[in-house]
């Protein structure tokens, strides 16, 4: 079965410093992985996705993630945090075992950015 584990429920950084949000996955086959972001009182927006092409994936707003099969990780990074990055971030794996596109969500990491 597919699953994801987000290792931190809360991360706090100062504006202008790097961001690291950690995610480990479990998959019985080559997975597709996503990061979604949710700002307060908003729906989920796709940041980036990995679908077995390049292992370093670039997304919107300066975010990127690296797929590391040996570590079963898909951590999200950004070189310099902005106040507008404060939100909840979800690591997601795609599960096709039911014959359709099903997304398995992690519990989320709330990112706080301080001035």
Partner 1 sequence: ETGVTQTPRHLVMGMTNKKSLKCEQHLGHNAMYWYKQSAKKPLELMFVYNFKEQTENNSVPSRFSPECPNSSHLFLHLHTLQPEDSALYLCASSQATLNYNEQFFGPGTRLTVL
- Site residues (CB under 8 A) for partner 1? 32, 34, 36, 41-46, 49, 51, 90, 94, 96, 98-103, 105-108
Q: How far is the CB of 43 from partner 1 (least distance, A)?
A: 4
DSSP-based three-state secondary structure for 85: helix
Give whichever of 20 and 96 is closer to partner 1, judged by the CB atom.
Answer: 96
SS (H, E, C) 22-81: CEEEECCCCCCEEEEEECCCCCEEEEEEECCCCCEEECHHHCEEEEECCCCEEEEEECCC
Query: Min. distance of Cβ 21 from partner 1 in angstroms?
Result: 16
The nearest distance, CB 44 to partner 1, in angstroms, is 4
Indicate the residue among 27 and 73 with the shorter CB distance to partner 1: 27
* Distance of closest approach, residue 115 Cβ to partner 1, in angstroms: 27
Contact, 81 vs 51, CB < 8 A? no
């Amino acid at each position: 079965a597919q699953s994801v584990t987000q290792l931190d429920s809360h991360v706090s950084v100062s504006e202008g410093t790097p961001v690291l949000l950690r995610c480990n996955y479990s998959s019985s086959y080559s997975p597709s992985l996503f990061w979604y972001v949710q700002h307060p009182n908003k729906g989920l927006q796709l940041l980036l996705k990995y679908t077995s092409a390049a292992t370093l994936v670039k997304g919107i707003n300066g975010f990127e993630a690296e797929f590391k099969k040996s570590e079963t990780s898909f951590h999200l990074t950004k070189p310099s945090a902005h106040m507008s990055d404060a939100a909840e971030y979800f690591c997601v794996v795609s599960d096709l075992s039911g014959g359709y596109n099903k997304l398995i969500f992690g519990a989320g990491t709330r990112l706080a950015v301080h001035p």
